[in-house]
Homo-oligomer: A and B are copies of this chain.
Amino acid sequence: MLGCSVLVRICIVDTTFARVDMARRAIAVLKQLMPDAQIFRRTVPGLKDVPVEVLRMFEEYECDAGMVFGWVGPTLTDKITYAAYSIAMQLVQLKLGKHVIDVTVHEDEAGDEESLLSIAIDRAEKHAYNLYLLLRNPEELSRLAGTGRRQGYPDVGSLE
């Protein structure tokens, strides 16, 4: 957790490959919850270009946390690319020691475009709220431990 810094700097990276402008929704939520936040946004062609861009932005703007927005096709090759990307995003976070919340939509999550759009928007907005909690209200996350929260779908709740 990042504690209550007086001025928080957030890096955002998304792609031209994605079919929904998720970053715009997330930024709207972040600005509403943290009007003082400084937000830096860049767009790269696709998933493979995201991790190094995050690294470059953190170094250039000395960010405290980040969000990335990816879009993954349905083929085995797409899944392998997602695997390599996911490992790289872990390495970036471990190298920086900072949270970078990963918002990824997979085309095989839904059969129709309308559902994909609504998954993408819901996931982006809820994860923006999650980043706010990590930065400013970690106690709320602790309160929700093990309660089956979902992003992109309705919460499924606790089994207890």
Query: Which residues of A does B touch, CB under 8 Å?
Result: 1, 14-24, 41-46, 48-49, 51-53, 55-56, 59, 69, 72, 76-77, 79-99, 101-102, 106, 108-109, 113-114, 116-117, 120, 127, 130, 133-134, 138, 141-142, 144-151, 156-160
Distance (whole angstroms) from the CB of A92 to the closest CB of chain B: 7
Find out whether the CB atom of B59 lies under 8 angstroms from the CB atom of A97.
Answer: yes
A97 to B85: give the CA distance in the assembly, Å. Answer: 15
Contact of A145 among B18, B80, B82 (CB under 8 A): B18
Find out whether the CB atom of A99 lies under 8 angstroms from the CB atom of B49.
Answer: yes
Distance (whole angstroms) from the CB of A60 to the closest CB of chain B: 9
Contact of A77 among B15, B20, B23, B82 (CB under 8 A): B82
- Having A45-B101, A84-B87, one finds 4 other A-B pairs with CB under 8 Å, namely A1-B53, A19-B158, A22-B146, A49-B99
